[in-house]
Amino acid sequence: MTVVTRFAPSPTGRLHVGNIRTALHNFLFARKEGGTFLLRIDDTDRERSTAEFDQAIRHDLDWLGLTPDAIVRQSERFDLYEREFEKLKAAGRVYACYETPEELELRRKVLLGRGLPPVYERKAADAPVPEGRAPHWRFRLDHDPPIAWTDLIRGEQKFDPKLLSDPVVRREDGSWLYLLPSVIDDIDLGITHVVRGEDHVSNSAVQIQMFEALGSEPPQFAHEALLVAAEGKLSKRLGSYGAQHLRDEGVEPIALLDALARIGTSQPVEPLVSLDELAETFDFSTFGRAPAHFDPHEVELVNARLLHHLDYASVADRLPAGASEADWLALRGNLERIGDFGDWLAVLHGNIEPPELGHDERLLIKEASAIARTLDWSAEPWRALADALKRTTGKKGRELFHPLRLALTGRESGPEMAPLLAAMGKERAMARLDAAASR
């Protein structure tokens, strides 16, 4: 069996962190199994779906590295839905209903008031048809046997169909609801695994009967725990945390994917640099049932750890013109975002304002300047300078290194000084030491 997964967003908004996670898990499972990952644009809602959001979703997936193998749109498949709907109608598996939303809500309250489950009550076949009212259509569930399947994450699942309402699959105006077109698509596209949030578990129970009614074996299901913010329910802030936010913040897309691939599992979040590495270790058996807690700060930490190990070739096209490999290696260890590189490059090769030092600090820097003139700058100038200063001044630790860093970089903290000083070069370093000593 060739694995085929799908990600099915509606083009009514931008991708956020929750649906990116769903897309990622579908992508990784297909990649691991050597299968196919499809993008299905669920654009049956003609009023809310837009071409701009359709394009944005595809652009975001490409930027994240989750490029699908093929793209289909539900708006282009209405003829297929119509044909399959007619088959179900002929078989008596869909039927017309005429209640208004107000009538249904009233009946629901009555059932709840009696302590009964608010399940839709089917009307008799010879019930009168209200004059001038167009029908909506429901799928007729078989009440026996129980609906059961083995979920790849949740394990054995069982539903009593008598406790489920026959779902509405088509509105009065002829437009489609989600459940039936999704099943028809999954059959037509050969979807083997449906990976989605646990809020769809009851939908899957209903859809299993739809697959069977259409003469098809249901796919395997994997319902993952929902993503929540660290403080509880997924907040509006996280609802806007997506690809556009990452681009605006200068965060590497793989940093987000590293976090989303592993949170909610028994595997640690690690700064892996490729989707292939993530796919190799992807395993539904590691997924837990507890809510997956998402913390944007964790993404930022992973991003920094990634940058500290990225080689020059992987970032060269995003660095300022003229930045060398030596510059990157000297500065990457202090970066939180790649956009910070430009500021540090100016420290390395531009002009800095001499810092204000105390009297003793200026004497130290004056001594450092004298020693620096005698060093072999082709070897390890930072170690040689520090060792010589320790011997001549008796200073060590912060008392030694803090004024040296300030004089050479104008910053209180930053990258390791050894590669920084080597990349800076003798002439620039001497000029900065002299300027700091004489201020």
- Same domain, yes or no: 158 and 103: yes
Domain range spanning residue 88? 80-170
d(CA 217, CA 94): 19
Average pLDDT score over residue span 408-430: 90
Give long-range contacts, CB 8 A cutoff, 24+ apart: 59-62: 60/14, 60/15, 60/20, 60/242, 60/243, 60/244, 61/7, 61/15, 61/23
Contact 410, 353 (CB under 8 A): yes
Residues 6+ apart with CB under 8 A from 18: 197, 226, 227, 234, 238, 239
Contact 271, 305 (CB under 8 A): yes
- The token pair at 117 is 């489950």
- The token pair at 205 is 């129970």
Give the domain-ending residue among 281, 307, 333.
307
At 244, phi and psi to the nearest 5? Answer: -65, -40
196-205 pLDDT, tens digit each: 999 999 999 9
Domain with residue 127: its CATH number is 3.90.800.10
69-87 pLDDT, tens digit each: 999 999 999 999 999 999 9
- Same domain, yes or no: 250 and 322: no
- Same domain, yes or no: 368 and 393: yes
- Same domain, yes or no: 89 and 124: yes
Domain with residue 198: its CATH number is 3.40.50.620
Q: Which of 9-23, 149-163, 378-392, 402-416 has the highest mean pLDDT?
A: 149-163
- Same domain, yes or no: 61 and 29: yes
Checking if the pLDDT of 232 tops 70, the result is no
- What is the distance between the terminal CA atoms of the chain, rounded to a whole angstrom? 75
Overall number of domains in the chain? 5
Residues 6+ apart with CB under 8 A from 208: 147, 149, 218
Domain with residue 288: its CATH number is 1.10.1160.10
Give the domain-ending residue among 142, 170, 198.
170
* Side-chain half-sphere CA neighbours of 90 within 13 A: 7
Residue type for position 85:
F
Give the domain-ending residue among 299, 332, 348.
348
Question: How far is it between the farthest Cα atoms of the chain?
Answer: 106
Average pLDDT, the chain: 92
Separation of CA 209 from chain center: 32
- Same domain, yes or no: 214 and 267: no
* Global confidence as pTM: 0.87
- Same domain, yes or no: 55 and 183: yes
Per-residue pLDDT, 398: 92
Per-residue pLDDT, 65: 96
Domain with residue 402: its CATH number is 1.10.10.350
Tell me which H or E stretch contains 294.
strand 292-294
d(CA 137, CA 45): 17
Per-residue pLDDT, 238: 61
- Same domain, yes or no: 159 and 189: no
- The token pair at 124 is 């008799």
- Same domain, yes or no: 188 and 57: yes
- Same domain, yes or no: 223 and 234: no
- The token pair at 272 is 């892996």
Average pLDDT score over residue span 372-377: 91
- Same domain, yes or no: 317 and 303: no
| 292-294 and 227-229 beta bridge pairing | parallel
Count of positions (residues) in the chain: 439
- Same domain, yes or no: 165 and 187: no
Per-residue pLDDT, 199: 94
Q: CA 404, 408, 412 angle in degrees (round to 5)?
A: 70
Per-residue pLDDT, 239: 62
Checking if the pLDDT of 233 tops 60, the result is no
Average pLDDT score over residue span 379-399: 93
Contact 12, 50 (CB under 8 A): yes
Give the ranges where 332-424 is alpha helix by DSSP (H): 341-349, 359-372, 381-393, 398-409, 417-424
> CA quadruple 357, 362, 364, 368: dihedral positive or negative?
positive
Tell me which H or E stretch contains 221.
strand 220-224
Contact 35, 274 (CB under 8 A): no
